[in-house]
Amino acid sequence: MSEDARAAVDVDSEGGVRRLRLRRPEKLNALTGAMYTVLADGLRGADADPTVGAVLVTGEGRAFCAGNDLADFLGDPPTGPDSPVLAFLDALMTVRVPVVVAVQGDAVGIGTTMLLHADVVVADATARFALPFVALGLVPEAASSLLLPRVVGPRLAARMLLLGDRIGAEEALAAGLVTEVVAAGAHEEAAAGWARRLADAPRESVRTTRALLHRLDGSPLERSHEEAALFAERLSSPEFREAARRLLG
C-alpha cells in the first residue's frame, strides 16, 4: 500500500471508537482504489477488535466525499469481484460493529450510497446528497436500488437515481436518509457523541443487534425464532448479568 493512500485515509482509535477520516480535501475526498483498500482494512480491523465499540467515518475539508475518482477508475476499472470498491462494500455490509458517518458539503455517488449501510448519519446544514449514476451512463451500486426506496420511499428514490436530483440536509432528514442535522461545522463533534454512546453500550449485544438490523432476508416468523435463540443466549452473558445487577441495586 502506498504512503499516499495511507495519508489519504487516516485511521485511529480513542475511547472505543475507530475513526476513519478521508483526508483528500483538494479532491473533495474522491475515493481511489487504494483508499478503498485502507477503508476495508479499517472496517475489518474494527470488527476483529473487541475493544472497538463503534466506527466513525468522516471527511476532511468542505465536502464529505465526491464519489469515485474518475481518473483512477478509468485507469483501473473495478470490473471484478475482488475489486477494492467491492471489498470495501462487502466489509461495510458485513461488519458487526455499528457505523456512524459525519457528512458535510457534497456526498456524491458512493458518498451517499454508503450511508444506506450506516447506523447513524449526522449531516451539517451544508450537506447535499446526489446519485449521478445515470448521467454518467452507469447504474446504481452498493445495493442502493434495493435500499434507497426502502429508506426514502420510491418517489424520492426515483428522483435521485433516475434523474440525479440533489437533495439538501433537511430533505434528507425528512426522508430518513440522515439521523440528525446540525449547524454547519458541528457534524463531526455531534457524530462523535453518537459513536461514544454506541461504544459505551454492551458490546456483544450491540454487534448482534446491528447484524440483525442489516439483514433483510427471512420471514417475520423466522426472524422471531432467530431473535428468541439469540435472546436466550444473551441471558447467560456477563453483560446481561451485570446490567441486571445494576438495575436490581
Rounded (10°) CA dihedral 165, 171, 176, 179: 120
- Tell which residue, 102, 87, 105, 3, has the closest CA to residue 43: 87
Catalogue all structural domains in the chain, each as residue range(s) with its CATH number. 3-200 (3.90.226.10), 203-248 (no CATH)
Length of the chain: 249
pLDDT of residue 3: 52
Could you tell me the pTM of the whole model? 0.94
Burial 5-33 (b: 16+ CB within 10 A, else e): beebbebebeebbbbbbbbbeebbbbbbb
| CA separation for the pair 75, 70 (Å, rounded) | 8
Task: Convert the pLDDT of each residue in 40-99 to its tens digit.
Answer: 999 999 999 999 999 999 999 999 999 999 888 788 777 777 889 999 999 999 999 999
Exposed/middle/buried for 80, CB within 10 Å: 0-12, 13-18, 19+? exposed
